[in-house]
Amino acid sequence: MPKGQPLSVPDDGLSTRQRRNRPLVMVHTGPGKGKSTAAFGLAMRAWNQGWDIGVFQFVKSAKWKIGEQNVMERLGQLHAETGEGGPVEWHKMGSGWSWSRKGGTEEDHAADAAEGWAEIKRRLADERHDLYLLDEFTYPIKWGWVDAADVAETLAARPGRQHVVITGRDADPRIIEVADLVTEMGKVKHPMDAGQKGQRGIEW
Amino acid sequence: MPKGQPLSVPDDGLSTRQRRNRPLVMVHTGPGKGKSTAAFGLAMRAWNQGWDIGVFQFVKSAKWKIGEQNVMERLGQLHAETGEGGPVEWHKMGSGWSWSRKGGTEEDHAADAAEGWAEIKRRLADERHDLYLLDEFTYPIKWGWVDAADVAETLAARPGRQHVVITGRDADPRIIEVADLVTEMGKVKHPMDAGQKGQRGIEW
């Protein structure tokens, strides 16, 4: 937990307040657990600040993330009902995306992923959200479905005050390069190494 | 995100279901960000499963964790009002603990930490919660305020189906030893290295 003084003060002509309020690109990568979980913990804090949150889940999954989705959507509903916290949109790649009328291309995940990124680009240009949670977005980049250079350039040039958090293993070096904060989750010990499978409440 | 088959199947006489449902001790350690954040993401999932959650925050802090606390307590309140999710208790070490009538010992953090651990031991014996989030609990252990061997023995021998997650840097090897899952959060890149201070919505 970082507190106190920064290690150095850059010669970037910005005041401390300007630097403090600089929107961040954050990457949670590495082989260990907690990459998405920490991103959703971050979203919880963002909600509490009244931020507009957009979640884009890039890997199809029936039960994994269901807990996070239920809670985040419930928090978004609370916002709509009582004005507490911020609004939450949760978009899941699966058979297409919820904003797309095309219906979905069960067989063409590459096209779905590209469409997801195209929508995120439009939203970044429109300054639609305060926090974008691009969950498991490293994979479509790794698989060549989304162009890493385009992502890096778009993030670096995004307008306004939009925070972006990207999760997944093997983050592309070009994404790392434009990121302000990168955390590598390392696996020290995992119950699956001892023959245990994932369980309710812990993994989903 | 672990899926699929475990790497090996242990010769422990347990069925897959028994192993699957084995309660876990989880440790989030290392110098990087996301240790507590991932633990609160886990608590979000646990809430969604209807689990009884006890948070014990071992390091006094005015604003850090306020976002998590607001959201978790709001979720606990939702449970009380509508039956959704599970109950949440949030205990914070500061001037004593909320369950203590003693009033608090602003000067004696060691005694406060020991009292916190004593209460957690009582609760573990009573099987009071489904998930214990012992936030920044590595520090009172590191500082000798709480005995690592006692923690390790108590966790290893705890009855029933109680999950425990411990966060903080420099986890004691005896705690690592009894843990089922250990994740080391490594710092790859951090905005404070570039002169940036913590900011609202991101760090708290």
Residue B169 — very low, low, confident or very high, per pLDDT cuts 50/70/90?
very high
Which chain A residue lies closest to B45 (C-alpha atoms)?
A: A67
Residue B66 — very low, low, confident or very high, per pLDDT cuts 50/70/90?
confident
Q: Tell whether the model's pLDDT for residue A5 goes beyond 70.
A: no
Q: Is the dihedral of CA B195, A54, A204, A115 positive or negative?
A: negative
Q: Tell whether the model's pLDDT for residue A4 goes beyond 60.
A: no
Question: What is the value of ipTM here, to two decimals?
Answer: 0.74
Angstroms from A141 CA to nearest CA on chain B: 17
Contact A45 B67 (CB under 8 A): yes
- Specify which residues A53 forms β-bridges with: A88, A131
Q: What pLDDT, on a 0 to 100 scale, did the predictor assign at position A121?
A: 97
- What residues of chain A lie within 8 A of the CB of B177, using their CB? none
CATH number among 1.10.3720.10, 3.40.50.300, 1.10.10.10, 3.90.1310.10, domain B22-185: 3.40.50.300
Tell me what the mean pLDDT of segment A45-52 comes to. Answer: 94
Angstroms from B102 CA to nearest CA on chain A: 30
Six token digits for residue A1: 């937990």
Do B134 and B58 contact (CB within 8 A), yes or no? yes
Which residue, among B77, B4, B32, has the nearest Cα to A203 in the 3D structure?
B4
Residues in CB range of A160: below 8 A, 6 or more apart? A23, A127
Return d(Cα B201, Cα B68) in angstroms, integer: 10
- Specify which residues A25 forms β-bridges with: A164
Angstroms from B101 CA to nearest CA on chain A: 30
Give the position of tokens 């573990």: B124
Of A64-78, A116-130, A138-152, B185-199, the range with the lowest mean pLDDT is: B185-199
Residues in CB range of B96: below 8 A, 6 or more apart? B102, B103, B104, B105, B112, B115
- What residues of chain B lie within 8 A of the CB of A85, using their CB? 71
Contact B49 A200 (CB under 8 A): yes
Q: What pLDDT, on a 0 to 100 scale, did the predictor assign at position B103?
A: 52
Q: Which of A11, A15, A29, A45 to mutate to test the interface with B (most CBs of B within 10 A)?
A: A45
Q: Which of B35, B65, B77, B196 to mutate to test the interface with A (most CBs of A within 10 A)?
A: B196
Q: Which of A181, A187, A203 to mutate to test the interface with B (most CBs of B within 10 A)?
A: A181
- What residues of chain B lie within 8 A of the CB of A47, using their CB? 67, 71
Q: What pLDDT, on a 0 to 100 scale, did the predictor assign at position B127?
A: 97
Q: Which of B17, B22, B37 to mutate to test the interface with A (most CBs of A within 10 A)?
A: B37
Return d(Cα A119, Cα A92) in angstroms, integer: 12
Contact A68 B41 (CB under 8 A): yes
Residue A204 burial (CB count, 10 A): 19
Residues in CB range of A30: below 8 A, 6 or more apart? A169, A183, A184, A185, A186, A187, B186
Return d(Cα B111, Cα B9) in angstroms, integer: 43
CATH number 2.60.40.1180 given to A22-186: no
Of A122-131, B8-17, B130-139, the range with the lowest mean pLDDT is: B8-17
Q: What pLDDT, on a 0 to 100 scale, did the predictor assign at position B62?
A: 45
- What residues of chain A lie within 8 A of the CB of B163, using their CB? 201-202
List C-alpha distances in Å: A133 to A91, B1, B137, B175, B194: 10, 16, 29, 32, 23
Angle at A68 between CA A3 and CA B190, to 5 degrees: 25
Residue A188 — very low, low, confident or very high, per pLDDT cuts 50/70/90?
confident
Q: What pLDDT, on a 0 to 100 scale, did the predictor assign at position B20?
A: 61
**Number of C-alpha atoms within 13 angstroms, CB side, residue A194?**
16
**Number of C-alpha atoms within 13 angstroms, CB side, residue B203?**
20
Share above pLDDT 90 across residues of chain A, in percent, rounded to a whole number = 61
Contact A40 B41 (CB under 8 A): yes
Tell me what the mean pLDDT of segment B157-175 comes to. Answer: 96
Q: Is the dihedral of CA B42, B43, B48, B50 positive or negative?
A: positive
SS (H, E, C) chain B: CCCCCCCCCCCCCCCHHHHHCCCCEEEEECCCCCHHHHHHHHHHHHHHCCCCEEEEECCCCCCCCHHHHHHHHHHHHHHHHHCCCCCEEEEECECECCCCCCCCCCCCHHHHHHHHHHHHHHHHHHCCCCEEEEECCHHHHHCCCCCHHHHHHHHHCCCCCCEEEEECCCCCHHHHHHCCEEEEEEEEECHHHHCCCCCCCCCC
Q: What pLDDT, on a 0 to 100 scale, did the predictor assign at position B202?
A: 67
Top mean-pLDDT range of A100-104, A160-164, B108-112? A160-164
Contact B130 A201 (CB under 8 A): yes
**Where is pLDDT greater, at A16 or A166?**
A166
Return d(Cα B137, Cα B155) in angstroms, integer: 13
Return d(Cα B145, Cα B139) in angstroms, integer: 9
Contact B1 A194 (CB under 8 A): no
Return d(Cα A197, Cα A189) in angstroms, integer: 14
Contact A38 B42 (CB under 8 A): no
Give the position of tokens 């890997």: A59
Angstroms from A184 CA to nearest CA on chain B: 5
Share above pLDDT 70 across residues of chain A, in percent, rounded to a whole number = 75
Return d(Cα A33, Cα A177) in angstroms, integer: 23
Residue A190 — very low, low, confident or very high, per pLDDT cuts 50/70/90?
low
pLDDT in tens, A55-112: 999 986 645 678 889 999 999 999 999 999 999 999 988 666 777 655 545 567 888 8
Q: Where are the domains of chain B?
A: 22-185
pLDDT in tens, A143-157: 999 999 999 999 999
Tell me whether residue B73 is exposed, middle or buried, using C-beta atoms within 10 angstroms of its C-beta: 0 to 12, 13 to 18, 19 or more: middle
Please list the alpha-helical segments (H only) found in A52-170. Answer: 66-82, 109-126, 138-142, 148-156
Indicate the residue of A35, A186, A196 with minimum beta-carbon distance to B186: A186
Return d(Cα A18, Cα A40) in angstroms, integer: 26
Q: Tell whether the model's pLDDT for residue B84 goes beyond 90.
A: yes
